[in-house]
Chains A and B, each alone.
Chain A
Amino acid sequence: MYDYLNHINLQLEQRCIEPKLQQFRYLSLEPGLTRYEMKAYNEILFLIKPSQLPVGTVIVSECRSRVIPTDVAEVQGIEDFSGLVVIQLPGVPAKKKTIEFVQITL
């Protein structure tokens, strides 16, 4: 499996970022809700398992935006978001689900 923690550390090194803290951060998707906002000011959130999100989910942040593609299960890369992160699901989730991020505090 792709070593995403190594990738994150390399990214931080290449971008000359010295994190104050690196930890996991979770977002719970609740049945009935389709829009979520996460405040990640002075933080970087790496979405480490994008396949947890339904296809067609739109993630918008101040540095990067992404639509979860149909072939997300085959995608190994991970992407980072920061600032105000808005997650818009394409439909109402049937059951509760937890989305995992690696949070880098600057």
Chain B
Amino acid sequence: MATKIRYQIIQIEVNEQGQIAEISHKLPLHLKVCTGFIARHTKGLTLANDLNEIGLLALEFNSRKQLLINAMVGFESKVEQLPDYQEVNIPLENGQLVTGYYMDTKQVSVSDFKPYVVSIYLRCELEVSIEAKECTTT
């Protein structure tokens, strides 16, 4: 058996100040383990400086059986290098839900608020058989 990596991307649109966006994302059946994640701002904000926190993220796996990720999401004004995946090791049950929430905590006035998008990248592995199939020729 060998492992192959597949990435799942969950995008969250934040349209209001202080918004709590619920996450409910069904993972494909064939994914067996989640080995890492990145949560980052990907669209919308244009700020001069970095911010350590623009929101809070909570993720539960296997249809709410395991709460495994609580993280702050920050903002980088200049992205020079993509961040590394934060390592996790979460066995996945077949086709279960990833649930949770993202809450905007950026303290700006309502008039200054601009919608933005946060993306969560889940790095997952699946096992595949490497038995070679016999070729048949006619």
> Could you list which residues of chain A lie within 8 angstroms of chain B, going by C-beta atoms?
14-16, 58, 60, 62-67, 82-83
Contacts and interface: CB of A to CB of B under 8 A. Distances in A.
Contact of A62 (B20, B63, B64, B70): B70
Interface of B: 18, 20, 56, 58, 60, 63-65, 67, 70, 100-101, 103
Given A58-B20, A64-B101, A83-B67, 16 more contacts: A14-B63, A15-B65, A16-B65, A60-B56, A60-B103, A62-B67, A62-B70, A63-B64, A63-B100, A64-B58, A64-B100, A65-B20, A65-B56, A65-B58, A66-B20, A82-B67
Contacts of A15: 63-65
Contacts, number: 31
Contacts of A60: 56, 103
A65 B100 CA distance: 9
Nearest to A60: B103
Nearest to A11: B64
B103 A63 contact: no
B60 A63 contact: yes
A58 B58 CA distance: 16
21 contacts: A15-B63, A15-B65, A58-B18, A58-B20, A60-B56, A60-B103, A62-B67, A63-B60, A63-B64, A63-B100, A64-B58, A64-B100, A64-B101, A65-B20, A65-B58, A65-B103, A66-B20, A67-B18, A67-B20, A82-B67, A83-B70
